[in-house]
Structure formats: structure tokens, C-alpha cells
Amino acid sequence: MKITVIGTGYVGLTTAVSFAMRGHSVMGVDVDAAKVERLQRGQSPIYEPGLEPALQKAMEEGGLTFTANPAEAVARADALFLCVGTPEGQDGRADLGYLFKAVATLQELLPKEGGERLVVIKSTVPVGTSDQIAGMFAAYSNVHVVTNPEFLREGRALQDSLEPSRIVIGARDERAFALMEDVYADIDAPRIHTTRANAEMIKYASNAFLATRISFMNELARLCAAVGADIEVVARGMGLDSRIGPEFLRAGVGFGGSCFPKDIEALINLARATQTPLSLLEQVRAINRSQPAWFLDRMRNCLQTFAGKEIALLGLSFKPETDDIREAPSLVIVKRLLAEGAHVRAYDPVAVPHVVRLFPELTFVNTAYDALEGADAAILVTEWKECTQLDWLWVKVIMAGTFLFDGRNAWPAEHVKGLGFTYLGVGRS
């Protein structure tokens, strides 16, 4: 099938590469000409494990091309996947400006009759948006508007795209479902054929529930810290219950990224607009926003003050295996440490270029050991293997102080305490 992917960001590029790897003829289109030129050279504009080599291979085999010309991309397509960004607006609602601009372009370029076309909404959109877009194509007898949300995890996006946990298709007629099955014919994964509104809600509900699990564990970690329990042991005991499972039970300094915070905000705003408040999600949001400050308060209690302290900060991206710093807890932590007079040396394998623009006063170093050398204290914010698999005997030699603040409960607590470090995790006794 000839597929055009509109938007070559995180979702769009991964989608385009995975379709090409499965044998479809794919063209990616983007209004950013500089990005398109970079892609045409086989260079990925985002860091995602395995994505750039797969991109280059798909291009070499002729299954993937890129263009900045929408007319060229639309004319050749059987299916057009809309993967443009829907960022959080100033009022908290999803900003659909990019999406409707892309839809307007399709209205101009698509013929109103002739061969069948799929217009597939893969962008995360508020419930009712796809039906609204379908109304905009009511005069097009040959166009099927479909909702097909993505469930990609940053750091494992390509694998998730090639081996999805489920394929959700929202449409109005059997012909649209049949055409979408042609797109995914070679994938063995559970299917859900449903309405467009249900498909949109499945995406939001999935992210909201996962975020709720994280915030529940983070709040429970505060109680564990107060009563002398260990959240890691508690989580392990909870996860053995088949009704609960072990995923998303890790306490830390909060979640970030391009999905959870934005989608929670959009769902809360949708609930308010329909006069159906989601008070649970409002609390999930509040817990996440306050979690970095709670951990910083515990750090300050140990150090007495941040003023004049040399702090090694390990990890800047919101999670390992991505350079994404959107809503990353590290940004809150850095801002507070600098405001209180700390000297911060930061290390991250890939995210530094994005943070330099925000905090030019930070000292950025090339290795975790460079950050740790001479530090009074260290804080782990992102559990990159480069930040967790350390030679602790050498760390003991090069650090000036003994304080280790484990914001992800990823350091070997008993081992480092045995070496004489003062260890503080999240909700650990």
C-alpha cells in the first residue's frame, strides 16, 4: 500500500519507518524544509534507539522517501496518516492548530471522487475531534476518516510500532475497517474495531491510568518514608498480585515526557467542559507536580542548605533512551538548586543540547564520573545505565562528600551504604 505520513516528529517518523519496514511504500512529508533535508540524508532529528539505522535501511531499499511538497505526498497516497503535534495550549486544552491546518491542506488537494482514500488520525486528539474532521470530508465520497491512536513508549517506540500491544481502529463503516486491516495485515496483535470517539478515549484513558499508578506510588512513597517502610519492597509485593501486575509501580521524582502531562491536562479540561470533573486526575497531576519539590526538601534536610554545595546531577531527559526533556523533573530540580545557590554539574548521554538553551549557567560534563568528581552530593534523576552502573569504589574516591540522593531507586542502596555513603532513596527506609 502507498502510505503518506504527515508530520515527521516522534510519532510520525517512527510510524513511517515501521510501515516501510513492513513492505509498504511510504513518503513522509513535513512543512519544515530543513528537517526534510536532514531526513533525506538519513539523519533522524530525534534520538530513539534503533530508529536511525532502520531509517537509513528503509531509504536504501527504496521503501521510504521524504518531501516538503504536500501535493506530491498526497497525490500518490492510498492512506494518509496525520501525525502532527497536538501540544498543550495556554488554557490546558490540546492545541489542534497544526492538525486542522493539515486537514485543510488535504481538503484542497484530495479529489472529491475517484479512488478510495484513508485519512487516518494518529495524533492524540480530544474526544469528538475525528468526527468533526469526518464532517469536513462529508462531500468527499471516496474518503474514509479513521482514528488509529498510537501507544508508543519513548525509548522503545520502533519496537512498539512493529509489535504493538493492540491495534485500535475507530471508524463508521465496514469498508474503512477492511482498508485499515490491509494496512496492518501482517501484524499479529489484538484488534478493537469501534467508534472514532471510543478510539480517542482509549488513548487518553490508557495514559491517564498509567500516570495514576505512578502518582499513587509516589504518594505512597512519602508515607513509606514517614513510617520507615520501603516502597520498593511494597511495590514488589503488590506487583505479584495478578490483578495489579508489576508495571508502573516504581516510585521516583515524577513523570514527564510528551504524553502523560499533556494528555492528563487535556482530559481534565474536557471533563470540565462537559461538567464532569475528574477529581482523581486532578490529584494525580498535583502529586506529580509536587514530587520533585518533596524530594528536594528531603535532600535539603540532609545537607542543611544547598547554598555553595557542589551537586552532581545525573540524567536530564525525562526517561532513559530518549533525548526528550518535555516536562522532565530534571528541569524543576535544576531550577530549584540554582535558585538556592548550588553549583550544579550535569551529565546526560544525549539530552544536554536541549538543556543548554534553558540553563546556560549549568556546568555540563562528558561523563558521570566528571560530574561526581569533587561533588558534595549526587542526585540521580534519570536512570541511564551510564548513571547507574558505576564503579562505586572509584566514586567514593573522587567525591568530596558522601551524600547520594537516588531519585529513581536505581542505585544499590545496601552496597553504597556499606561503602560509607549516606544514601537517600524515594520512600525507602
- Active-site residues: which are they? 259
Separation CA 48–CA 159 (nearest Å): 11
- How far is the CA of 210 from the CAs of 224, 246, 260, in angstroms? 21, 12, 8
**Residue 416 contacts residue 211 (beta carbons within 8 Å):** no
The residue among 232, 191, 72 whose CA lies nearest residue 183 is 191
Q: How many CA atoms lie within 13 A of 49 on its CB side?
A: 12
Could you give the CA distance from residue 42 to residue 55 in angstroms, rounded to a whole number?
6
Grid cell for residue 155: 525509548
| Strand ordering across the sheet containing 2-6 | 64-67, 25-29, 2-6, 79-82, 117-121, 143-147, 167-170, 191-194
Q: Where are the alpha helices (DSSP H) in 228-259?
A: 231-239
Q: At what angle do helices 196-227 and 231-239 cross, to 10 degrees?
A: 140
Rounded Cα–Cα distance for residues 227 and 215 (Å): 19
Residues 91 and 268: beta-carbon distance below 8 Å: no
Write the CA distances from 354 to 85, 329, 365, integer angstroms: 19, 14, 14
C-alpha span between 73 and 365 (Å, rounded): 43
Cβ atoms of residues 370 and 347 within 8 Å: yes
Q: Are the CB atoms for 173 and 203 separated by under 8 Å?
A: no
For the residues of 321-360, what is the DSSP string, one character each?
T----TT-HHHHHHHHHHHTT-EEEEE-SS-HHHHHTT-T
Q: What are phi and psi of 65, to 5 degrees?
A: -135, 165
Q: How far apart are CA 389 and CA 411, in angstroms?
A: 8
Nearest to 164 by CA among 217, 202, 133: 202
